[in-house]
Amino acid sequence: MRGSRVVAGLVLAYLLLPVAVVVGLSFNAPSNRLSYDFDRFTLANWADPCGPAGLCASVLRSAQIGLLATVLATVLGTLLAFGLTRHRFRGRGPLNALVFLPMATPEVVLGSSLLALFTAGAVPLGFWTVVIAHVMFCVSFVVVVVKARLAGMDPRLEEAAADLYASPWHTFRTVTLPLAMPGIVAGALLAFSLSFDDFIVSNFNAGTMTTFPMFVWGSAQRGIPPQVNVVGTAMFAVAVLAVVITTFRRRAR
């Protein structure tokens, strides 16, 4: 048992080591563009995060795509999850398979096949094609998360609401939706992080537009500006802060 604790500690360290390196490198003044070594401490990268051309624009674009894709995928996925868990209808089995398959399909295949569709339809590649692509692979994940939440819900709660004079619409609004909310929020967060972090599918369907992961990929060939690590560190800090705040607020209630 003690052995498993040691292993657990080492595994956690392994998971967090690169994050520490990212934070460290954000304060690095590299000696040349292709160097990955820590050369000299500096605050210059933090003072000028938007220095490298296109970096901040790509972050902003990724955020916009992420938000749009999240909203759409969450709405579509939540409706699907309700349909699949609450109703029996013909074609439920095949639909379940259709929802599962995108998760089992490699991203290269998802990205390339969609590109072929856009090319065949002469759809100009760019912002919207990437949004469409992201919604497509995020929907399944939202469905899975929301479905799990709905499956764990006591059906008597909705019966109780109906019994207490709530019409079907009121039952949905005052009982079902609030109870499903944690699942919907979790699904939305997952969708956003999948979209914001996606490189492969975006790379196929973005045309000349650049998202943040695409910017990182591109600069990895030419030498990474240290500001990329600033963005990475800032993202990490914001996420940690959000988690801490929500945890404390929940505890305060």
C-beta of 47: minimal distance to another protein in Å?
A: 20
Q: Which of 43, 83, 223, 248 binds another protein (CB under 8 A)?
A: 83
Nearer to another protein, 52 or 232 (CB): 232
Q: Which of 32, 40, 47, 106 binds another protein (CB under 8 A)?
A: 106
Q: Which of 52, 216, 225, 226 binds another protein (CB under 8 A)?
A: 216
Q: Which of 71, 179, 185, 186 binds another protein (CB under 8 A)?
A: 179
Q: Which of 7, 43, 44, 245 binds another protein (CB under 8 A)?
A: 7
Direct distance between the N- and C-terminal alpha carbons of the chain, in angstroms, rounded to an integer: 36
Residue 112 to residues 101, 109, 160, 180, Cα–Cα distance (Å)? 16, 5, 49, 35
Q: Which of 132, 137, 144 is nearest to 78 (CA)?
A: 144
Please report whether residue 128 would count as binding another protein according to CB under 8 A.
no
- E-assigned strands of the chain? none
Please report whether residue 34 would count as binding another protein according to CB under 8 A.
no
Interacting residues with another protein between 184 and 203 (CB under 8 A)? 193, 196-197, 199-200, 203
Q: Which of 53, 196, 54, 78 is nearest to 130 (CA)?
A: 196
User: Do residues 223 and 216 touch, judged by C-beta distance below 8 A?
Assistant: no
C-beta of 107: minimal distance to another protein in Å?
A: 6
Interacting residues with another protein between 129 and 168 (CB under 8 A)? 132-133, 135-136, 139-140, 143, 154, 156-157, 159-168
Please report whether residue 100 would count as binding another protein according to CB under 8 A.
yes
Q: Which of 55, 68, 69, 84 binds another protein (CB under 8 A)?
A: 84
Interacting residues with another protein between 38 and 77 (CB under 8 A)? 75-77
Nearer to another protein, 43 or 103 (CB): 103
Q: Which of 20, 32, 29 is nearest to 47 (CA)?
A: 29
Q: Is 168 exposed, middle or buried (0-12, 13-18, 19+ CB in 10 A)?
A: exposed
User: Do residues 171 and 162 touch, judged by C-beta distance below 8 A?
Assistant: yes
Residue 192 to residues 33, 122, 137, 139, 142, Cα–Cα distance (Å)? 31, 28, 11, 11, 10
Please report whether residue 98 would count as binding another protein according to CB under 8 A.
yes
